[in-house]
Chains A and B, each alone.
Chain A
């Protein structure tokens, strides 16, 4: 009896087992089927937000620290690569690593002095830091080009060949797909590691965690470091793709939108963050037909989505 039951796997369950590969196949084939560069560009933007959301998820979802200034880290990543490229002709691939490590260091230095703050006090410091970075980018004209930003950042090219990505969308699409996959893989591995479990323990009960020998300061610091690392990757990619960056791309609205992506997807689950990023980055595109009502409807959509699913779309999948 039971053996016969086991052999008959329903189609939905079979899909569930292989859904990852199925989604990957769809993602891989998409630019080959739909050659509209506008659509591919939309997905590249979605990819950047997926990177950002998974990075922020480390800080907000795993470590449970509310961060209201994540765009600052994104900005540091983008400006690091832009400056390296413009002044020393550093290539994209080296810049990717350099941006990631610089941003990780920046994230850690940012919270290092304020680690003894708890809860929303830490959140307001991240908010303040985000504003400080944005205003600094606007006012340090000689270094950052002020409100006009930096122009003429080199597009990536394949190493050992002369193939440049240029303004074509498809190569960026595959690059961001690869980056998202690598980051998600790494974060999933990290989630079940000693550090990942320490994050979750800290989030659930700081006092209990610290009495079990977890050092809250170090664990929070590492969350900001890794969150910063991912933001650095996203920032470097963004700068190389756009070729030009300005402080406008890194304001408070970006921080808040990425946070909304993470919360909407469902906290405590990295796939939720990815799904939230995918939905919220494409939603304004679908609302484009409504012209001036677009942001109004976006706000309304945020409210309604939260009301109907307070725990987030994939929120219930959290393991206890």
Chain B
């Protein structure tokens, strides 16, 4: 028999898992928004493309690594392929759809982002077909008992990979020269370019990093749910963007907190209220939190200056 506490903890674990994936996508939104103030609507689609690239890599490479130890190598290669593919895609999108509009009215790149989103969705649909695709299980899933909750090794893998990527990103932005340049650009783009920061290169780097994270998120999404569809990017992107806002958009730890919180709230809402209303629950929480913290949980209060 499961006690009420066990059920709660189980929901919490499930929520944390999907929350990690939301957090990875949310980081891409927040990185780009922090620097160029663009809501990158195509980011959810990049996540979806990442899942499909992972699938493609699985299908082509699967025969090559059948021996013991091959699974780990295969996993690494799938992640590498998906992440570098999405990073490359994002660089192309940034170069041709966003960069020419860097100094245009604020809503112009938003519309091209919507255009890119339509384009990617339909390109994937045409290439892979409109129906659900089954994503191969890359590792044999086993259950691990941690105290009262049972966790699958897949969930542990997702958590470990996500946290690892987030830690790398955090230190990259905090300690490297490009990371410092990113923060300088976020503060004041004009001043940053005056002190010799190569704006285009740094903005492209932000797109690259964010999209690589989304690509990794896509692969893990596929592994976790076992099916992917060209529509998946839309809702996941919407929720991740909401998560980024929830944490305070432009704020990297905020996106992590927001993503995890979003996943947990959604999972608890689905478990205790009803699964049909779980998306309503997530957006409702967003509105309530913004009522009390108008710039998100970790967002800084912007002081108005004349």
Q: Which A187-210 residues sit within 8 Å CB-CB of chain B?
A: 207
Docked complex: A117-171 residues within 8 A CB-CB of B: 117-118, 120-121, 123-125, 127-129, 131-132, 135-136, 138-139
* A121 and B119 contacting across the interface, CB-CB below 8 Å: no
Contact B306 A303 (CB under 8 A): no
A125 to B111, CA, bound (A): 19
When the two chains form the complex, which single residue of A113, A117, A136, A307 contacts B101, counting CB atoms closer than 8 Å? A307
Cross-chain contact B279 with A131 (CB below 8 angstroms): yes
B110 CB within 8 Å of chain A: yes
Q: Is the interface of A mostly helix, strand, loop or mixed?
A: helix
Closest to A61 in B: B107
Indicate if B114 sits at the interface (CB-CB under 8 A). yes
B299 vs chain A, min Cβ distance (A): 9
* Cα of A264 to Cα of B33 in the assembled complex, Å: 22
Among residues of A, the one whose C-beta sits closest to the C-beta of B283 is: A128
B276 touches A139 (CB 8 A): yes
- CB contact list, B27-42 vs A, under 8 A: 33, 39, 41
Q: Is the CB of B286 within 8 A of A125?
A: yes
B119 touches A296 (CB 8 A): yes
Q: With a CB–CB cut-off of 8 A, which chain B residues contact A118?
A: 294, 302
Instruction: List residues of B (2-34) whose CB comes within 8 Å of A's CBs.
Output: 33
- Interface positions, chain B 196-213, Cβ under 8 Å from A, are none
* Given A114-B290, A121-B290, A135-B280: A301 in contact with B115 (beta carbons within 8 A): yes
In the complex, A315 Cα to B104 Cα: how many Å?
11
Hey, what's the 0/1 contact readout for B101-131 against A, CB within 8 Å counting as 1?
Answer: 1001101111110111111111100100000
Q: Is the CB of B294 within 8 A of A310?
A: no
Any B CB within 8 A of the CB of A78: no
Fill in one digit per residue for A295-316: 1 if any B CB lies within 8 Å of its CB, else 0.
1101111110011001110010
Chain B interface: which size bin?
35 or more
State in angstroms the CA–CA spacing of A113 and B275 once bound together. Answer: 27
Chain B window 89-103, contacts with chain A (Cβ cutoff 8 Å), 1 for yes, 0 for no: 000000001001100
Q: Which B residue sits closest to A66, measured CB to CB?
A: B107
B110 and A263 contacting across the interface, CB-CB below 8 Å: yes
Determine if B294 and A117 form an interchain contact, defined as CB atoms under 8 angstroms apart. yes
A300 to B111, CA, bound (A): 11
User: How far is the CB of A94 from the nearest CB of chain B, in Å?
Assistant: 32
Q: Are B283 and A303 in touch, CB under 8 angstroms?
A: no
User: Bound complex: CA of A263 vs CA of B283, how far in Å?
Assistant: 26
Which residue of the partner chain A has the closest CB to B249?
Answer: A120
Contacts of A311 in B (CB 8 A): 104-105, 108
Q: Does B287 contact A (CB under 8 A)?
A: yes
Interface of B: prevailing SS:
helix
A277 at the interface (CB under 8 A from B): no
Using Cβ atoms and an 8 Å threshold, which residues of chain A touch B114? Answer: 256, 259-260, 299, 302
B195 within 8 Å of A (CB atoms): no
Query: Are A296 and B279 within 8 A (Cβ)?
Result: no
**Would you call A11 an interface residue if the criterion is a C-beta within 8 Å of the partner chain's C-beta atoms?**
no
- Is B284 engaged at the interface, CB distance under 8 Å to the other chain? yes
Residue of B whose beta carbon sits closest to that of A308: B100
Please determine whether A303 and B245 come into contact, CB atoms closer than 8 angstroms: no
Cβ B118 vs Cβ A298 within 8 A: yes
Chain B residues whose CB sits within 8 angstroms of the CB of A138 once the complex forms? 276
Residues of B within 8 A of A66 (CB): 107, 110
Contact of B306 among A125, A207, A264, A307 (CB under 8 A): A207
Of B241, B249, B280, the residue contacting A136 (CB under 8 A) is B280
Assess whether A267 is interfacial by the CB under 8 Å rule.
yes
Name A8-57 residues within 8 Å CB distance of B.
none
Residues in B with CB closer than 8 Å to A88 are: none
B295 at the interface (CB under 8 A from A): yes
Contact of B242 with A by CB under 8 A: yes
Asked if B234 is an interface residue, CB under 8 A from chain A, the answer is yes
Task: Report the bound CA distance from A16 to B35 in whole Å.
Answer: 43
Q: Are B112 and A302 in contact (CB under 8 A)?
A: yes
A292 contacts B by Cβ under 8 Å: yes
Judge whether B291 and A295 touch: CB under 8 Å. Answer: no
Report yes or no: B101 in contact with A124, Cβ–Cβ below 8 A.
Answer: no
Q: Does A286 touch B at the CB level, under 8 Å? A: no
State the 9 A-B residue pairs at the shortest beta-carbon distance, nearest first. Answer: A299-B118, A302-B115, A310-B104, A128-B283, A299-B119, A303-B115, A296-B122, A310-B108, A299-B115
Apart from A125-B290, A256-B114, A259-B114: 20 A-B pairs, beta carbons within 8 A: A66-B107, A114-B290, A118-B294, A120-B39, A121-B245, A125-B287, A127-B242, A128-B286, A132-B280, A135-B277, A135-B280, A207-B304, A252-B234, A256-B41, A260-B111, A260-B115, A293-B122, A296-B123, A303-B119, A306-B101
A–B complex contacts, Cβ < 8 Å, 7 sampled? A128-B286, A129-B283, A263-B111, A298-B115, A299-B116, A306-B108, A306-B112
